Structure 1
Amino acid sequence: MNRLPRLLLCSLLALAGCATHPSVLTPEAKAQQAKVAATAPLLLISIDGYRADYFDRHLSPTLEQLAATGVHADSMQPSFPSLTFPNHYAIVTGMVPDHNGIVNNNMVDTQLGKFSLKDRSAVRNGLWWDQATPLWETADANGLRTATMFWPGSEADIQGEHPDYWKKFKAKMKPNRRVDQILKWLDLPAGKRPTFLTLYFDAVDHAGHEHGPDSPEVDQALRDTDAAIAHLVDGLRKRGLFDKMNIIVVADHGMASVPKENHILIDTLMSMDDVEPVTTAGVLVGFNPKLGHDFNAVEQQMEQPHQHMHCWDKTRIPARFQYGSNARVPRLVCLADVGWSIATTESLAKKKGHVSLGEHGYDNADPKMRALFVAHGPAFQRGIRFHNFPNVDVYPLMAHLLGIRPKLSDGRFEDVQGMLKQ
């Protein structure tokens, strides 16, 4: 985090003959210090693509033990679209993608240009992320140290701030090394040790895309990821921290099987000459009009019923999706039915048969998109099963656990309050 404002404040107070010596701390400052010191650490873990019912495969014994002695939700509903970056940012801001500004993994902004999750310069540009405030910034502003191990948005300088500790994303970093970094941060002296931390695993999602959700490869990724969480739990126990910190394990979305032949060729249904180059592809495809072309005619044609796909002008997207008001949402949006994907003849040919056998981004109410939620720690009830709830509710829950006032959000604390001890 940028500490310059704090350093300037300390300098000014020092010139006034006060701030740096503990004996001259005001009662309010002492109370704040005591509150920070007493706050139980909170670790937020994401297992990308861990569909809620993967839990029933009994390949995650560590997660099962956390659930048995904590809270296990039937599922957690992702925000729409059920994609990686939009939902990770929804979880830490409490705002659905249409409100947090990350409306897709790939998008266009009239001022900023194009965004892609593979474009590292765009990912690290805070202007893409500043329509919402992530929890690590609010925690920092309340005197809590923060650390993020690969969370979308954490590499960007958002509203002038970073987490106190963060790492550039390295896809090849092994799960246990990611855990080891979390443990190293927890080994820091009390004044430097983070209170809010995030941890990210992606093997389950990759296996689901490459081989499909029902594949042996997904099962192995579940085992491997659970082994990394077991390594984490063992490290926390050795440090005497396991029973003293709150742990929340979530997924950003689920995964659906997509047979190789299930492709909707969008260029056979509309003229690509009338639209700007496709801004998104796959499950959710967006189109903006090309200057001088009659886009009303395009929309009228595409909003007619189509097999395996629905298209809407952004102002007519069904209200339950909470999507379409943000300027980054393309004017025309087409959503594939679960189990289908949208492509052009050219883009499909370029893949040369190498297509994803698993996809997400579909209707966020579909059971195959539902995500994992497990919580464990001193603040949570033991051994309870909780109902399905929207993922934006995790944000006010975490703010409550950290003892800080959350920003205004789409989340509702009262909907998840029942999982906490009274």
Structure 2
Amino acid sequence: MTDSSARAKVLVVGMDGLRHDRLIRSHATAPVLHGLMATGAHGSSLLPYGEADGQAEHGPSTSIAYTDSGPGWSSVLTGVWPDNHGVTGNDFTGADYTRYPDFLSRAVSARPALRTAAAVSWPELVHRGTLGPAIGRRVPYDGESDGYETADRLVARTAAQWLTEDDPDALFVYFGATDEAGHATGPLSPAYDRALLAQDAHLGRLLEAIDARRACEHWTVLVTTDHGHLDTGGHGGDTRAEREVFVILAEPGMPGGTRLDTPRLIDIAPTVLDRLGIPVDPSWGLRGRALPRPTPPTPEWS
């Protein structure tokens, strides 16, 4: 039974360029992620590419969610598509993070006492302002210079240290090695599988740190990606292999193996705010909707 008095906390983990079909095909390459799917909820959807996005709270809109990392992570973090946040490529030209800030910044603006943190191995997410300065801690490691295997390991170590030694309320953690391997050798390669297995182990370290924390906490864990990859490696187009994304959601009370109905990248931000108990102001213009909470079991009457 979920304790309604428990302190709500959220961890969002981004795994760049992780193709959904490669994730679900084998337990061996991602045992931690498969465990989360088995005990929680998951589903996939296609990034809109010039078609109507009829699930938006503010009515249908026609969006192009470009299959590059700048637009993808901007959509995850802000809760709107590129036609709102303005990012259409990895140069971040046109970004409007003042009007559409990331969910950590929104959370701490609504509740200044919240402890927020982000650790990433793609430093552009900090340097370009995608993760705003209102966040309590922002730690960028440089996967571009140091290699994503090294930078991801540092991200995991930092986030695990926060979870072990400090008291964070909401965290965003980004790993990039799968995308790097996808570009180098394609997502069907052994190198891609090794990168996925390493990121899976990093996630396991974070979950172990959460499990070791106080019992009076209610943790929601979300895992997602920004885009897929062509079989030959690379992305930026409108094929299914590039457009299919996924969301994994795990939290107390969630029936194992629950299927999420076409969860979208823009649903992450409102889900985080919902789990933290922060009402979404209509003036924010978020296009996503909070993913369903676990349904309480029906009481048995004797």
Classify the TM-score, shorter chain.
0.7 to 0.9
Corresponding position of 1:93: 78
Corresponding position of 1:162: 134
Corresponding position of 1:232: 206
Relative contact order (alpha carbons < 8 A, sep ≥ 6): 1 or 2 greater? 2
Q: Secondary structure at the match of 1:389?
A: coil
Number of residue equivalences: 263
Q: Distance in 2 between matches of 1:169 and 1:101?
A: 25
Q: Secondary structure at the match of 1:404?
A: coil
Match of 1:199 among 165, 169, 173: 173
Q: Secondary structure at the match of 1:246?
A: strand
Identity of aligned residues (%): 27
Alignment check: 8 A CA contact 2:229 2:241 kept:
no
Corresponding position of 1:136: 104
Offset, 1:257: 2.5
Corresponding position of 1:78: 47
Match of 1:213 among 187, 190, 203: 187
Match of 1:405 among 273, 279, 301: 279
Corresponding position of 1:249: 223
Corresponding position of 1:45: 13
Alignment check: 8 A CA contact 1:139 1:145 kept:
no
More displaced, 60-69 or 100-109? 100-109
**Structural RMSD (CA):** 2.7
Unaligned runs of 5+ in 2: 49-64, 297-302
Q: Secondary structure at the match of 1:361?
A: coil
Larger Rg: 1
Q: Deviations over 1:139-175 (max 9, x none)?
A: 1111311101127544456798431011133213443
Q: Deviations over 1:84-108 (max 9, x none)?
A: 0111111111110121021211365
Corresponding position of 2:51: none
Q: Distance in 2 between matches of 1:39 and 1:140?
A: 16
Corresponding position of 2:235: 360
Q: Are residues 420 and 98 of structure 1, via their aligned partners in 2, closer, same or farther at CA, if it must alter by over 3 Å?
A: same
Q: Distance in 1 between matches of 2:128 and 2:215?
A: 30
Q: Secondary structure at the match of 1:41?
A: strand
Q: Deviations over 1:47-104 (max 9, x none)?
A: 101111112231101111111110121x133351011011111111111012102121
Alignment check: 8 A CA contact 2:40 2:250 kept:
yes
Q: Secondary structure at the match of 1:245?
A: strand
Corresponding position of 1:66: 36
Match of 2:259 among 385, 399, 403: 385
Q: Distance in 1 between matches of 2:201 and 2:131?
A: 37
Corresponding position of 1:146: 116
After TM superposition, list the pairs within 5 Å mapping 1:22-37 onto structure 2.
none
Match of 1:375 among 224, 240, 249: 249
Q: Distance in 1 between matches of 2:253 and 2:105?
A: 22
